[in-house]
Every structure is written in C-alpha cells, then in structure tokens.
Copies of this chain bind each other. A is one copy, B any other.
Amino acid sequence: MALLGHLDQIFRKIDENASHFVENLAEAVAIESISAWPHKRSELTRMVRWTAEKLRKLGAQVELKDLGEQTLPDGTRIPYPPILLGTLVVDPDYTTVLVYGHLDVQPARLEDGWDSPPFVLTEKNGALYGRGSSDDKGPVLGWIHAIQTYQSLGVPVPVNLKFVFEAMEESGSEGLRGALESEKEGFLKDADYVCVTDSRWLGPSRPCLTYGLRGVSYYHVEIECSVKDLHSGVYGGTVHEAMTDLVYLLNALVTKDGKILIPHIYDQVAPLSPEEADIYKAIHFDVDVYKRDVGCKELIYEEKEDILMHRWRFPSLSIHGIEGAFSEPGQKTVIPRKVVGKFSIRTVPNQRPESVEKHVTDYITRKYEEYGSPNKIRIHSTHATSWTENPYHPHYEAAARATKSVYGVEPDLTREGGTVPVTLMLQEVTNKNVLILPIGASDDAAHAQNEKINRRNYIEGTKLLAAYLHEMGKL
C-alpha cells in the first residue's frame, strides 16, 4: 500500500507539472534536428547537448560518444552527431533498465503542407503539433520527467538506469552498431532489461506493448544519360533518356495491389502458424478508423487480420521519389542528366538483408540488361533487419501491469510495420529481453505533415513510464 501510495502521489505531481513538461517539449521541438539533411548537422549536436544537460540535472553521468564520419552518397564526408550515453545509479543492488530513444527527426518544411510551423510546438484541440513531438522527443522527455517527479517527491527511483539517446535514427541509425558493440563489456554490461520508447499505438486510443518490427532495405537506383541537363526541344528524340529508363525499372517492382514482383523475395518469409494467426484475432483494431486515417477510397485488404499481417509480418515495397528530376511546381522542359530513383522494402522474419539485397540487385540488373539501354546504372542500398521478441516474458508482464495502472486496460500485444534498427542491435549486444513501450497514438502522423502528440498521451505516457519503473523495481 505504501508503494501504491507513492505512485498515486507521482501521478498527481505529473498532472500538476503538465504545463512545464509541455514547455520543455516546445524547447526540444524548436531544435531542427533533421538527420537526413547534412546542413542541419549542427542542430543534431545541439539537441544532443540540450538533452545531456537535462540528464545531468537528474544526477546522471553523461558521455557524448563520438561516432566518426558519415560518407554521403556523393562521397563527401561529414561528422556524425555524438551518441548520448547516460548512467543513473540509485543502488548497485537494483535492477538496471536500459532506455533507448532518439533525438533526431524527419525532414519538415511549412510548405510541405503543415498547418503550423513544424518547429513551433502548437497546441490545438488537445494535441501538441510539431516535428518530433511524437517521434521521438516527447517520449524521451517522458523518461526525464518521470524520473524528475520521483526525485522532486523524495521517492527513490526504484531501478538503475542506462540511457542510449542517438541522433541518426531517422537515417538508419548509421554509426550506432559499432558504438554499441564497443560498449558490450562496458556501458552495456550491467543492463538487465531494455526498453525502447519509439513507435506508436496501433490505434488512436488503446495502449499496447510491441514485440516485433519490420526491417527496411532502402535502394538508390541511379541512371545517367548525359553530361548535363538537356533541353527537351533541342535534344528530345535523339537521346536515350535517363528518366524513361528509371520509370521502366520502378514500374517493374510492385503491382498496384502491393505484390512485390522481384523473384524469390517471398521465399524466406516465415510461414504463418495457427498460434500466430490467433494473435491477430484478439487485437483491438477498427478497420474503418484506419481507413479514415489514411483517407483513401479503398484499401488493398478489408479484413482486420489481413491488414495487420500485411503491415507487420509480410514485406511491402514503396517508391518514395526521384532525385535529380524536375520536382517543383510549374513546367520545365528538361531532360534530366542523372536521376536517382528511391524505393524501399520493409522486410520481415526470416528475410535476411543480404538475400533481399541480392534478389533486388540481380533482378534490377537483369531487367535493365533485357531492356537494353546504353545508359549507366548504379545501385546503392542500406539495410536494417526485422526484429521479434518473446512477449510472454516477465518484462512484458510488468509493462502490462504498469499500463493497467495508468489506463485501466490490458495492453494489446502488437507488432509494428516500421523499423527501429536499434531494437535488434540492443537485443543482439545485450542478449536481454527488449520491450517497445509506445507512448503516442497511431494518428500522430510521424514522418508526415502535422505530426503531433496528444496532450493526454504525453502526460499519461509520462505516468506510464513512472509506473513502469515502479513495476520493474519489483522484478
């Protein structure tokens, strides 16, 4: 009863400090830490330092670990932002939870169609709009505020904590694996459990625990037809155009119904067991809400189970865009000299990245040879593997109890279609049970215009993390 009393007190204190927590989020969102844009590299470092200062104030020891240099597709080299490693020891005998979050965000510009400036946190109808609010600055601050609340009440934090906050997650967590491997016997050694607060709920209102993620193989297919952009009037009709070739190759990848046309790509996909099939039946998921969220006329599948399985346990292929071609409004009569088509495959258990890459590269190479264009082609790819965990572990049960103490319901056991490469890395380097504990809601528009986190998710999410620490202290 004494401990439950503490938790009540903590929840009340979190409610009292809600405005202050929102102000801190506004400060974090204002830092334009876009990892995909090389010219924003200094903002990444600023964001890391800002967070390090917060951790230091909690009494944590903080290290900014240098990751060396990144080589861009054009060959230039720029520094990676440092990775933030923090340690908060309460009692050497306590269980140690390793916490992961990321400090970088997806690109965003007002003219992409945002209703408010993406780097100014803007509250409207109970939601806090801003790039990174949900993915992943809000959840990172959730940890900091949960611990702050324990300390402000003089209640001892019931576990020791290790923090891994990186700033290259939206760009494939490049540079991270090496850093983690090198800390296997150092910083990471004492971790007993790993908790990742990235990704979101399955729906808009029901909490969940996540035990699986898809991987991603991202491809750049570059075709070059001339030494300069050409005027389509002057040269059109005599030149093998790079765009024609690229469009041919992109069209050979996937059908309108999402079937990937690359031979052997489905060979390694794990067969569906009857037990796994049952999991999908139990999940709370409203197809109509999902369809309204997408805003499409028709989805590829109409049944709940089909939709969930095609988001979580079957691969998908998306064509993202073309670099080098005319992409602005208006008309331009250009034959672009060099174009780079970008697409990615979300991979699943038991697809191996090296097999996927081989199948894709072989297929594109063969299709291009059959096609017979004299233009130069170059394929470049990066990979992150899918991940699954045992969801019947005591770690998951503790998180389920924490969820129930905040939201009053059992969390759904879900997977996610997205990729958080670090999850698998952390599983591999620690050999410990890894849990994804989402804070935000499904309609937070992570990666899209008007990203938000509901004020409720942000504040109750802080309570959830406080309750999770409480439950973990009992293990």
> What residues on B are CB-neighbors of A239 within 8 Å?
258, 294, 296, 299-300
User: How far, in whole Å, are A56 and B248 apart by their CA atoms in the complex?
Assistant: 54
User: How far, in whole Å, are A74 and B329 apart by their CA atoms in the complex?
Assistant: 9
Q: Interface on chain A toward B: helix, strand, loop, or mixed SS?
A: loop
- Supplied contacts A238-B301, A319-B325, 14 more A-B pairs, CB within 8 Å: A36-B331, A73-B329, A107-B332, A218-B333, A227-B294, A230-B294, A231-B446, A234-B446, A237-B311, A238-B294, A240-B257, A240-B299, A321-B322, A321-B336
> What residues on B are CB-neighbors of A241 within 8 Å?
258, 318-319
Known: A233-B346, A417-B234. Contact between A240 and B296, CB under 8 A?
Answer: yes
Interface residue ranges of A296-333 to B (CB < 8 Å): 296-301, 307, 310-311, 314-323, 325-333
> In whole Å, how far is A308's beta carbon from the nearest beta carbon of chain B?
9
Cβ-based interface call for A182 (8 A): no
Say whether A450 contacts B320, CB under 8 Å: no
Interface residue ranges of A156-197 to B (CB < 8 Å): 171-172
Residues of A within 8 A of B (CB): 36-38, 72-74, 106-107, 112-113, 171-172, 200, 214, 216, 218, 225-241, 243-245, 247-248, 250-251, 254-258, 294-301, 307, 310-311, 314-323, 325-337, 342, 344, 346, 371-376, 382, 416-419, 442, 445-450
Say whether B344 contacts A244, CB under 8 Å: no
> What residues on B are CB-neighbors of A226 within 8 Å?
294-296
Contact of A318 among B243, B298, B318, B417 (CB under 8 A): B243
Most buried by B among A233, A235, A250, A314: A233
Q: Give 4 nearest A-B pairs by CB, closest first.
A: A233-B418, A227-B295, A321-B325, A321-B326
Say whether A447 contacts B331, CB under 8 Å: no
Say whether A319 contacts B243, CB under 8 Å: yes
Say whether B240 contacts A300, CB under 8 Å: yes
Contact of A240 among B230, B256, B295, B327 (CB under 8 A): B256
Say whether B254 contacts A244, CB under 8 Å: yes
20 of the cross-chain contacts (CB-CB < 8 Å) are: A36-B328, A36-B332, A218-B333, A226-B296, A228-B449, A230-B294, A234-B311, A234-B416, A235-B294, A235-B311, A241-B318, A241-B319, A244-B256, A247-B251, A248-B256, A296-B375, A318-B335, A320-B336, A331-B344, A332-B447
> In whole Å, how far is A280's beta carbon from the nearest beta carbon of chain B?
13
Say whether B233 contacts A216, CB under 8 Å: yes
> In whole Å, how far is A375's beta carbon from the nearest beta carbon of chain B?
7
